[in-house]
Amino acid sequence: MRTIVLLLAALALAGCDQNMEVQPRYGEYARAPLFRSSSARNPPAGAVARDALAKEKEATQRPALTADLLERGRQRFTIFCSPCHGAGGDGNGRIVQRGMPHPTSYHDPRLVAADDQHFFDVITDGYGAMYSYASRIPSRDRWAIVAYIRALQLSRRASLDDVPPDQRARLESMP
């Protein structure tokens, strides 16, 4: 009998140990009777996210074009964009081969003529079926990717005249 009482007491006391483990709260997007709608609330009109202004300012500061920046762009492009746009930018990446809508090739005359800002804005805001990368790619890296896309485009349009004269001979002597 004594054992049973002790056992029950132990069980009952264990039940009291709530600490802060159990806290009543809403799950994400759960129904919230208090608001008569979802627990995810719209920010009040005119609210500005804490770092929004700083990020906006940063986006206008384009880094200088260097070989390091291009290399960073190549790496970020390969990670974030090539799964859909393909390594060469034709828009035939693995995900597209498996059903994602086919994006316009970067070598399409419209995109060759588009300015750098268009590419930056597409990465920032998304475009049609493509979602925004603003939360994943900081603006400096977005500019690096834009620079690399420009290099990809140039790689198909460049002529011998674009090569510095002192290096042309070396190119021409290649088999």
**Which stretch in 38-46, 67-75, 77-85, 164-172 sits in contact with ligand HEC by CB under 6 A?**
77-85
Q: How near is the Cβ of 152 to ligand HEC at its closest, in Å?
A: 10
Say how many CA atoms lie within 13 Å of 144 toward its Cβ.
Answer: 21
Dig out the tokens for 75 from the structure.
């790496």
Q: How near is the Cβ of 85 to ligand HEC at its closest, in Å?
A: 5
Q: Residue 5 class from Cβ within 10 Å (0-12 exposed, 13-18 middle, 19+ buried)?
A: exposed
**Which stretch in 5-13, 49-57, 126-134, 150-158 sits in contact with ligand HEC by CB under 6 A?**
126-134
**Which stretch in 7-15, 16-24, 27-35, 124-132 sits in contact with ligand HEC by CB under 6 A?**
124-132
74 binds ligand HEC (CB under 6 A): no
120 binds ligand HEC (CB under 6 A): no
Do 91 and 103 contact (CB within 8 A), yes or no? yes
Say how many CA atoms lie within 13 Å of 70 toward its Cβ.
Answer: 8
Cβ proximity to ligand HEC, 69 vs 123, nearer residue: 123
Alpha helices in the chain (DSSP H): 2-16, 52-60, 67-80, 82-85, 94-97, 109-113, 116-125, 139-157, 165-172
Q: How near is the Cβ of 158 to ligand HEC at its closest, in Å?
A: 20
Give the span between the Cα atoms of 119 and 130, in whole angstroms. Answer: 12
- Per CB under 6 A, the list member of 72, 73, 74, 85 interacting with ligand HEC is 85
Binding site for ligand HEC (CB under 6 A): 80-81, 83-85, 95, 100-101, 103-104, 119, 122-123, 127-130, 133, 137, 145
